[in-house]
Chains A and B, each alone.
Chain A
Amino acid sequence: MDLLKRWAARQFTTRVIVLMPVAIAINIVLGATVQQALKLPIYLDSIGTILVGVLAGPLAGALTGILANLIWGYLLPAPIGTSTIGPFFITAGVIGLLAGIWGQLGLFRPRRGGRASILAASIAVVLVGALALYTYARAYASPDQFVNITGFKTTDFDRSRIFFLAVMVVYVVLVGVALYLRRDVGAVLAIGAGLVTGIVAAIVSAPIAAIVYGGVTGSGTDALVAAFRAGGDSLYQATLKQGLLSDPMDKMITSFVVFFVIGSLSRRFVARFPNGEKAIGANTEAEIGANAASPG
């Protein structure tokens, strides 16, 4: 118990406490503008949450997400405040929690280098691609197999196949861009982590959307939910599918951006955060010395 308390306290240094409102504000401002600007289901409203999770740890990340949602939904006046985002604080908390775990595992660490690591990256991408193909082959071997594994209906077989491939394409494109711009192999892991986060987020959000809002959120994606339900899906299935269409993309792009942001910050700055060393792969433990002020 005491160990748990100390682990919790370690994540909430003064620096983290200062970062959190900044991250929350970033979440809200980007969330309110990016979707309007791009007119796509890409919100980037988890950038702050994932950033705090990677830099400070799972608890700090989760709390950032939860508070961001609650503040955005209930403490800000319209037009910024939006009435529908509040109950999804659970999803936001999960996203922050996962980001903290990815950060602990070092998945957002820059892994730059010469040809050797490009080679390693390509191998990694090939491996991931192989894994994806294997999953694809097994799940889509036959319509019955598909139903058994995913619980969806046979009519979804073709459409979801295309979508699965689309997600893979986006993944490869993002990784490619990262490799091209920065020669940074770490993108493979970071964006992969974003994909997993997106899937989990969709799964967690579906029941919330179904129970609280009957599956709709007043945005354009409601048409999709309607279409799914017209096709005979239950409420849960429809909202889950709608979530799976937008969340993985959004979280992959968000993780891509966070990965770039962390890579662009000075090592000095990042190193002072509780998870900072894992985020930059520092072996300058001795130099970091007396780390950030201990919590009061």
Chain B
Amino acid sequence: MTIAPPARLEGLPEYVTRRPGGFYRSTNPSTKLAIAALEVVAAFLVPGWPGPIAVLAAVLVTAAAARRLRGLATIGLAASPIVGSILIINLFLLPGASDPIVRLGPLAPTWTGLWFGLQTVARLYAFSAAIALVYLTTEIDDLLADLARRGLGRRAVFVVGAAVQMVPRTIERAAEIVDAQRARGMDTEGRFWRRARGVVPLAAPVVFGALTEVEERTIALEARAFSAPGRQTLLRVPPDRVADRALRWAAVLALVAIVGLRIAGRFG
């Protein structure tokens, strides 16, 4: 082979090894997962207000320090329909509640209902925020790489990674198909029956288009030695510092403690 090796061969290029910076963003992804798991468990298993409030406080503080408050707010806003539903339903329709705030004809919102509704909402916000924080401070590639380092098989990594990349592409393709169908006169507004008839010409090409690629993709993967035995080499691995590991273990222990306390009925 007459191709000469390049001048610098020291290591991986900077665009592969570059780490995200910033508070919490540089924390190891598995640690962040462990913390999120702890927060979700705490929000649900610690009864009453302390659980959700503590978790929400922790998440908000972390998000502020990591400069991700706006992302959190967007996600919180997206949850408003369900929050509204929960509040309204519990306010007016909690069975067995008999301490009305005010009587408005047949409707009687109750204090118990309000209390219960607010608690449910707090729990919902707490657990959603805990998970959202991981999403907002972690690249999916880094998360998958870290899990792969800990033993997650290459096939699982592929499935999750490829699925996340494929969703926007499938949506683009679906949009193209809708446009093409509209150009051919498909009605996307209008009466129900016509819309129902329109579903198949939309869904079918999307499904079939995606499926026909499966064969070629399979061969292409095999042609890249995808089914080779043993562990694959990882080029992009997030660091796992002592602090990350300590934090992770602490979170797991706390999680176990909460579960244990709840089972033992120590939470009153």
Chain A contact residues, CB within 8 Å of chain B: 12, 14-15, 17-22, 24-26, 28-30, 32-34, 37-39, 44, 47, 63, 67-68, 71, 74-76, 78-80, 82-84, 86, 211-219, 222, 225-226, 229-230, 232-234, 257, 261, 264-265, 269, 272, 292-296
B65 adjacent to chain A (CB < 8 Å):
no
B127, B170, B192: the one within 8 Å of A25 (CB): B170
Residues of A contacting B82 in the complex (Cβ-Cβ under 8 angstroms): 83-84, 213, 216-218
Distance, CA A30 to CA B208, complexed state (A): 13
User: Can you report 9 residue pairs joining A to B where beta carbons are below 8 Å apart?
Assistant: A17-B221, A21-B165, A30-B206, A38-B192, A67-B159, A82-B78, A217-B82, A226-B88, A272-B215
Distance, CA A122 to CA B114, complexed state (A): 55
Q: Could you list 4 further interchain pairs (A-B, Cβ under 8 angstroms) beyond the known A30-B206, A47-B203?
A: A19-B211, A29-B206, A37-B199, A225-B89
B207 touches A261 (CB 8 A): yes
Interface mask (B179-201 → A, CB under 8 Å = 1, otherwise 0): 00000000010001001101100
Residues of B contacting A217 in the complex (Cβ-Cβ under 8 angstroms): 82, 85
Interface of A is mostly: helix
Nearest opposing residue in chain A for B173, CB measure = A29
4 smallest CB-CB distances across A and B, nearest first, come from A218-B82, A296-B227, A21-B162, A21-B163
Distance, CA A68 to CA B157, complexed state (A): 14
B217 adjacent to chain A (CB < 8 Å):
yes
A76 touches B167 (CB 8 A): yes
Interface of B is mostly: helix
A14 touches B227 (CB 8 A): yes
Residues of A contacting B74 in the complex (Cβ-Cβ under 8 angstroms): 78
A25 touches B163 (CB 8 A): yes
A18 touches B218 (CB 8 A): yes
Residues of B contacting A79 in the complex (Cβ-Cβ under 8 angstroms): 78
Residues of B contacting A15 in the complex (Cβ-Cβ under 8 angstroms): 214-215, 218
B158 adjacent to chain A (CB < 8 Å):
yes
Residues of B contacting A269 in the complex (Cβ-Cβ under 8 angstroms): 211, 214-215
Distance, CA A226 to CA B84, complexed state (A): 13
A17 touches B93 (CB 8 A): no
Question: Which residue among A83, A86, A219 has the maximum number of chain B CB atoms within 10 Å of its CB?
Answer: A83
Tell me the residues in window 136-167 of chain B with beta carbons closer than 8 Å to chain A beta carbons: 140, 154-155, 158-160, 162-167
Residues of B contacting A226 in the complex (Cβ-Cβ under 8 angstroms): 88-89, 92-93
Tell me the residues in window 204-241 of chain B with beta carbons closer than 8 Å to chain A beta carbons: 204, 206-208, 210-211, 213-215, 217-218, 221-222, 226-229
Residues of B contacting A25 in the complex (Cβ-Cβ under 8 angstroms): 163, 166-167, 169-170, 210
B192 touches A24 (CB 8 A): no
How many residues on chain B are close to A (CB under 8 Å)? 68
Chain B contact residues, CB within 8 Å of chain A: 44, 74-75, 78-79, 81-86, 88-90, 92-93, 95, 116-117, 120, 124, 127-128, 131, 134-135, 140, 154-155, 158-160, 162-171, 174, 188, 192, 195-196, 198-199, 202-204, 206-208, 210-211, 213-215, 217-218, 221-222, 226-229
Q: Known A29-B170, A226-B93, A296-B227; judge A18-B207 contact (CB<8 A).
A: no
Q: Known A75-B135, A214-B90, A232-B95; judge A265-B164 contact (CB<8 A).
A: no
Nearest opposing residue in chain A for B135, CB measure = A74
Residues of B contacting A230 in the complex (Cβ-Cβ under 8 angstroms): 93
Residues of A contacting B162 in the complex (Cβ-Cβ under 8 angstroms): 21
A67, A83, A212, A293: the one within 8 Å of B227 (CB): A293
Q: Known A17-B155, A86-B131; judge A26-B164 contact (CB<8 A).
A: no
Q: Known A29-B174, A83-B78, A214-B86; judge A22-B210 contact (CB<8 A).
A: yes
Q: Known A29-B171, A216-B86; judge A38-B95 contact (CB<8 A).
A: no
Residues of B contacting A26 in the complex (Cβ-Cβ under 8 angstroms): 170, 206-207, 210
B140 touches A21 (CB 8 A): no
Distance, CA A261 to CA B211, complexed state (A): 10
Nearest opposing residue in chain A for B229, CB measure = A296
Residues of B contacting A211 in the complex (Cβ-Cβ under 8 angstroms): 44
Q: How far is the CB of A103 from chain B (nearest CB, A)?
A: 16
Distance, CA A272 to CA B222, complexed state (A): 15
Residues of A contacting B196 in the complex (Cβ-Cβ under 8 angstroms): 38
Distance, CA A229 to CA B154, complexed state (A): 47
